[in-house]
Amino acid sequence: GFLGQDVLLIHDEAHLEPAFQCLIKSIEEEQKREAETGCCLPAPRLRTIALSATQRGHPDEEISLFTITPDDQEHPIVKQRIEATKRLILHPCDDENKQLVTQIAQIAWQYKTSNTAVLIFAHKVEDVEKIARELSKKLKKEKLPEQNVISLTGTMRGYERDKLVQTNEVFARFMPSSDRPSEVAPPEETVWLVCTSAGEVGINLSADHLICDLVPFERMVQRFGRVNRFGQCSDCEIHVVHPASFEKKKGKSGKISEIDQRRQKTLELLRALNGNASPAAIDKLDPTKRSEAFSPEPIILPVSDILFDAWAMTTIRGEMPGRPAVEPYLHGIAKEQEVPQCYIAWREEVRIINDDIINYYGEDLPQKLLDEYPLKPHELLSDRTDRIVKKLQKLVQKISEQGKEDVPVWFIKTDGTVERKTLQEIAEKKKDDLANCTILLPPDAGGLRNGMFDGAAEFSKDEQYDVADLWFKDNQQKTQLRRRIWDDEPPPEGMVLIRTIDTNPYAEELSEEIESPETPPTKRFWHWYVMPFESEDTTHASVEPIALAEHTDEVVKRAEDIVSKLSLPENLKQAIILAAHLHDLGKRRELWQRSIGNPNPSEPYAKPGKDASGHRWRVNWRSKYRHEFGSVLDVINSNNPYLKNFAQLDDEMKDLVLHLIAAHHGYARPYFPHDTTADPNYSQNECDKVALESICRYARLQRRYGRWGLAYLESLLRAADWAASAEGSRTAPAKTDAKAKEASS
């Protein structure tokens, strides 16, 4: 919602994702069309800027480029950088498949006594691994430190990649002194960093020398930008190993592939530099020839208003006819066959959440857990699906040879839905069935070695598999953002409890002795905590119980504060504030109060917590009931004092208030699932009418405010609710009896 309105979106490194750039431009144009066809957009439209040092484009395109001026080029610092010494040396290679690795390693080894930082790029992961091994062997043979060679690939898990950047002494040698961790001392002798494209963008590296294979032009420029970046080296060398002839690249058709055609054109441009690869020299190359040497653009799929309508129906999580996956529209479809990627991560809950727990909490528990405790980049590694399948099969074989049972796996599809499978079932899938999906393994499955997925790697206590809790606000890792603990561990300071999982749900009720402080701790209840501002769902984000009236007052204050700072029409401001007053009426139901463990439902609370003795409230009722659906029913049918204000609204504003209430936890876009459309205070006939009207209301409001405009208005109430919940009123029950009774009257 907030990203789609009143935002300037700057797409950095836009040359990497031309399909995504086209998509956000299409959204920009669609919002313009909405405004022209009568939509009442509540905020300024989205604006976009493409940012790149190697902007993809064509000379005949009418685009406005913002670049440095001639005066800028004369600035001493700018001049030093764009005219930096970068001596380009080209090396023909007769057979890339057989000789490339050896040739690159030999050139790199020439710098062994230079005490310099040598950066190496190779397109293939396998080549990076071979080059690193070759250099390590040479170092070992001469009794030099093998750790002076490190590698960086996109197949490395984010956690290990972050550690490499933050703590590795060799990596620090390639960083500007201002960016180096203060506690890391780089070695003075020659060091080598071997990378795939993972090191081409997004990292502030500056090597003394560079050796690489030949790739399309925009990637070569990015690589060249990682050597003598600040113009402080007077003898910098760049070595490019390229095919001696592209004739051998011809296939059965008698033609070379499109990617090799681009590489061939890139080589012609490199030759035209006459040994000078400085940014200033590259900038003087023919713009048309530069553009022709870029990587082939993927097939960019056209979008339409029908697709935007389908994607806007976010309540529908699974597959839906007429609604394709978003991924091909984000990245495009490669013109030449490319093997898609797949993701791997490890979580303890994959093993702990067994059939009994699923039966008790419901089949959607894995989905809910990942919504509340989402996978973060540092947990994930990725690789080509064909390599993933081979490694999975090796892992299955290893486990079978050890006589162990099959391993549970959570399979996360591209639409975000989660399926419980076994490792054997996943390993038998075709590689295309794994494209852009995520495989979540239990730690005891093994498969991790030095941050890489390795089917031959057995479980090791020395490896950190589940790193979900190792998510920090700062690089110094002082502020942890979430943590899961058992009953025998003290609650983390400053965090709020978002979920407690009973790992033995069918056991008898705990006795008073077990609940007493003198009883030895057990590992039955698994408590999940997050920092308040990181909670995706704030229903349980409280340390102490929060009275319903108290929470509602706080949400109203937050809503008033938000809309007072926006240039919205007055009727929209009042609609949002009124929705804040009414949004949680449905929480007064006894079954909802029991669902959060309230021991006295006659005193309604908005958030659970601990009782006066310090014990956490225990859930004693489970239901599919949605409190926001109940709130809509109450607004339409009850005698709440705020309904007088609601009755005075025109039909359009009534629609908006009801929809904001219905959608403040993500439902009603366009509907409530059938099993949530029941309320103990109303007949099923009344509930069905309200459920149907919610769909019609969503359609009317989206036509009125536009897709992104309606999402923006929803987000305003959601932000007020989130802010109030994250702040967390610390209310003692006795102090709020009057307000609680007033709210329930």
In whole angstroms, give the CA distance from residue 5 to residue 35: 12
In whole angstroms, give the CA distance from residue 659 to residue 713: 10
Domain 543-744 classification at class level: mainly alpha
Average pLDDT estimate for 693-710 = 96
In whole angstroms, give the CA distance from residue 86 to residue 238: 6
Q: Which residues pair with 320 in a beta bridge?
A: 323
Residue 744, pLDDT > 80, answer no
pLDDT on residue 523? 76
C-beta of residue 302 within 8 angstroms of C-beta of residue 329? no
DSSP 21: H
pLDDT class of 506 with cuts at 50, 70, 90? confident
In whole angstroms, give the CA distance from residue 521 to residue 524: 9
CA angle 225, 380, 361 (to 5 degrees): 155
Domain extents in the chain? 1-56, 73-292, 342-453, 543-744
710 Cβ contact partners less than 8 Å away, ≥ 6 residues apart: 659, 698, 701, 702, 704
H/E segment holding residue 385: helix 385-401
CA angle 22, 28, 30 (to 5 degrees): 100
Closest by Cα among 485, 483, 504, 507 to 495? 483
Q: What is the 3-state secondary structure (H, E, C) of 445-499?
A: HCCEECCEECCCCCCCCCCCCCCCCCCECCCCCCCECEEEEECCCCCCCCCEEEE
Range of weakest confidence among 25-29, 308-312, 487-491, 543-547: 543-547
Token representation of residue 126: 């396998």
Residue 537, pLDDT > 60, answer no
pLDDT class of 55 with cuts at 50, 70, 90? confident
Residue 26, pLDDT > 50, answer yes
Q: Side chain identity at 287, as an amino acid letter?
A: P
In whole angstroms, give the CA distance from residue 597 to residue 540: 11
- % of the chain exceeding 70 in pLDDT: 90
List, edge to edge, every strand of the sheet that includes 496-502: 482-486, 525-530, 496-502
H/E segment holding residue 645: helix 643-647
Average pLDDT of every residue of the chain:
89
In whole angstroms, give the CA distance from residue 744 to residue 288: 71
In whole angstroms, give the CA distance from residue 645 to residue 581: 11
The 10s digit of each residue's pLDDT in 409-428 is: 999 998 889 999 999 999 99
In whole angstroms, give the CA distance from residue 698 to residue 315: 12
Tell me the three state secondary structure of residue 106: helix
pLDDT on residue 512? 41
Q: Which CATH number is 73-292's, of 3.40.50.800, 1.10.1060.10, 3.40.50.300, 3.40.190.10?
A: 3.40.50.300
In whole angstroms, give the CA distance from residue 196 to residue 129: 10
Token representation of residue 278: 């400085």
Q: What pTM value is reported for the model?
A: 0.84
pLDDT on residue 471? 94
Average pLDDT estimate for 256-272 = 96
Closest by Cα among 632, 532, 641, 520 to 587? 632
CA distances from 118 to 94, 367, 743 (A): 24, 45, 69
The 10s digit of each residue's pLDDT in 592-633 is: 998 888 888 889 988 776 655 556 666 656 678 999 999 999
The 10s digit of each residue's pLDDT in 338-395 is: 788 999 999 999 999 999 999 998 999 999 999 999 999 999 999 999 999 999 999 9
Q: Which residue has the higher pLDDT, 266 or 177?
A: 266
Q: Which residues pair with 120 in a beta bridge?
A: 194, 211
pLDDT on residue 391? 95
Range of weakest confidence among 70-74, 76-80, 105-109, 452-456: 70-74
Helices 651-663 & 707-727 angle (0-180, nearest 10): 50
Q: Which residue has the higher pLDDT, 506 or 111?
A: 111
Average pLDDT estimate for 469-485 = 88
Q: What is the 3-state secondary structure (H, E, C) of 165-210?
A: HHHCHHHHHCCCCCCCCCCCCCCCCCEEEEECHHHCCCCCCCECEE
Closest by Cα among 550, 562, 553, 541 to 580? 553
DSSP string, 410-432: EEE-TTS-EEEEEHHHHHTS-GG
C-beta of residue 365 within 8 angstroms of C-beta of residue 353? yes
Highest mean pLDDT among 60-69, 333-342, 553-562: 553-562
In whole angstroms, give the CA distance from residue 84 to residue 75: 14
Residue 510, pLDDT > 60, answer no
Name the pairing type of β-strands 448-449 and 452-453: antiparallel
Residue 705, pLDDT > 80, answer yes
| Burial grade of 641 (CB within 10 A; 0-12, 13-18, 19 or more) | exposed
Closest by Cα among 296, 291, 300 to 58? 291
Cis peptide preceding 670, ω within 30 of 0: yes
How many Cβ atoms from other residues are within 10 Å of residue 319's Cβ? 12
In whole angstroms, give the CA distance from residue 224 to residue 207: 10
Q: Which residue has the higher pLDDT, 23 or 505?
A: 23
Tell me the three state secondary structure of residue 502: strand
pLDDT on residue 2? 82
Q: Side chain identity at 264, as an amino acid letter?
A: Q
How many Cβ atoms from other residues are within 10 Å of residue 182's Cβ? 6
